Each structure stands twice: as C-alpha cells, then as structure tokens.
Amino acid sequence: MKASKAIVAVALFLAGWLAGTAKADFVLDGTRHLDVTTSHNTGILDDNSTAAVLAGGHIGKAYVNDNALLTVDRPDGSIYSWAVDQGWLYNNGRIQVFSAYGVKELGARDTSSVHISGGSVSSLYPLGASTVDISSGSVENLPAGDASTVHISGGSVHGLGANDTTTMDISGGSVSELSAYNASTVDISGGSVNTVYADGASAITFYGYDFHATGGGLSLVLYDVIDGVPQYKVLGRGVLTGKWRDGTSWFTNIFRNDSTTPILAIPEPATISLLALGGLAVLRRRRRMA
C-alpha cells in the first residue's frame, strides 16, 4: 500500500463530483430529510439535510456536503450488493454506516467525518482534515492521506495505510496489514496488528508492557527516559510481543523497518505504577515471611 493510492483518490473525487452534479435523482437542502427505500442513481445532500438508506434502498453515487448527514442502515441484501456504490464527502459532510450492506467506495475530504459502527466498506479514502471513527464493522482497504485522522477502537481493517501527515490511533479491533509512510504518526494501545511496514519519517508507537523482541533480526534498545518512563526503540525485523494495559497478550510481525523510521515501545505510566505496586507487595510479603 503506497501513498499513490491517496493521490488516485483525489482524481476520483474531482471526476466523480463533475459527473454527479450534472444530474441527480434527488437533491436535498436546508433541513429536508429523505428515507431511501428504492434505487437512485445519484443523490446530493447539502446544508443540514439528512438521508437514510433503509431496507430496499440503494444509491449509486451519493454526494454529502456542508453539514449534511447520510445514514446507511440497510439490513437486507435485496438486489443490490451495496447500499451505496460510491459516496463522496465534502466540507463538513458526514456519514454513518451501521448495516452489513454498506458502502463499496467512500471518500472523505476537507473536514468531513466517517463513522463506522457496523456493516462494511470496501475502500475508504480519507483526505484533507477528515476524520474516521471505526468501532465495529469492517473495512477492506483504507489508505489515509493529507492531514486526516483515523481512530480504530473495534471492527476490522484489512489494509491500513498512513500517508503524508496522517494521525492514527488503534485501541481495539484488528488490523491485518499496517503501512506507514512519509511523516505519518500511528499510536497502538490495544487490539491486534498482524503485520507492520514502516518507511520514511513515519512514527509508530506501541503502548503496553512486557515487551520482547523475537527472531534474530529484531532488537529493543533503551534510548531515552522521559518523566521516569523508559523509551525503547525497535530495530530490525522480526516479531514484537507484549501486553496491553488490560493484560491482553499481543504480537506484531515487523516486515519492514526503515532506519529513518522510529518504531517505539513505551510502557504506559499507569502500567509502570501498577507493576511497581505489585513489586512492593511481593517485597513486603517476603519481609513478613523472613
């Protein structure tokens, strides 16, 4: 997964916008609302309008602008594989995906926002200063670019890419493949990340404890202590293991680790305090037994 995918998404935005605004089955503005229960080739939402794709509903191309909100909550497959084939968000446009029959291709620009709490999205392209929140459901392909922000607390993402100055935090769910490029930042404090490809000046940080490097090519090096918290740099390639704050064990395969990329393993301060208290308790028991 490379940054070029995000560039391709920009071209898709421009081409899609020009084609979609020329002709639309429905246009909503103001505070108008539409329950979509039949098929529409193209729909446009402006201002504070809202639309909901429900049972039997389908939109070929949906354009969501300003503060408009599109909700995808279609529980049935009907004759259409996806509730929305292509969705494009601009300005503060918003979309919420709840159902299994979600969105095939979704792009977010400017300060738009995407909330996925169920269902599925095949390809999601966050650009500009857009925000993505995933708490459940699944995304097959998610290459993020520009200064977008991605929060993953649940669900699953197969291919996750952090490009440009993207910021990501992963606190739950599962990621099959994480690729970080350019000056992107990724913080991982929960869930599972199977494989990692780190390149350029990107920064990936694991927050947990009981870190171990396995395999002949991977090592952990203490390079700094900040406010009493040790900072370990992960060098080389191999398998990194550890535990999250709740005690859950995890492992990550680091397949690419460029020398300019800082991959860090940092114990959380709260975890260090708990470990220290545990050590003191053991020491006190030993003293009482002596």
Name residues whose C-beta falls within 8 Å of residue 208's C-beta, 6 or more positions apart in sequence: 189, 242, 243, 244, 245, 250, 265, 267, 268, 271
Structure tokens belonging to residue 139: 């995304």
* 3-class secondary-structure state, position 112: coil
Q: Residue ranges of the alpha helices (H) in the chain?
A: 4-22, 269-289
Q: What's the confidence (pLDDT) of residue 75? A: 85
The DSSP letter of residue 109 is -
How many domains does one find in the chain? 1
Beta strand pairing call for 103-108 and 84-89? parallel
Backbone angles phi, psi at 66, to 5 degrees: 55, -125
Do 170 and 150 touch, CB atoms closer than 8 A? no
d(CA 158, CA 116): 15
pLDDT digits (tens, 9 = 90+) for 13-55: 545 544 444 467 999 999 999 999 999 999 999 999 999 999 9
d(CA 198, CA 194): 13
Q: What percent of the chain has pLDDT over 90?
A: 74
d(CA 138, CA 136): 7
pLDDT digits (tens, 9 = 90+) for 170-197: 999 999 999 999 999 999 999 999 999 9
**284 pLDDT band (50/70/90 cuts)?**
very low
Q: What's the confidence (pLDDT) of residue 117? A: 95
Q: What's the confidence (pLDDT) of residue 280? A: 37
Residue range of the domain that includes 30 = 4-289
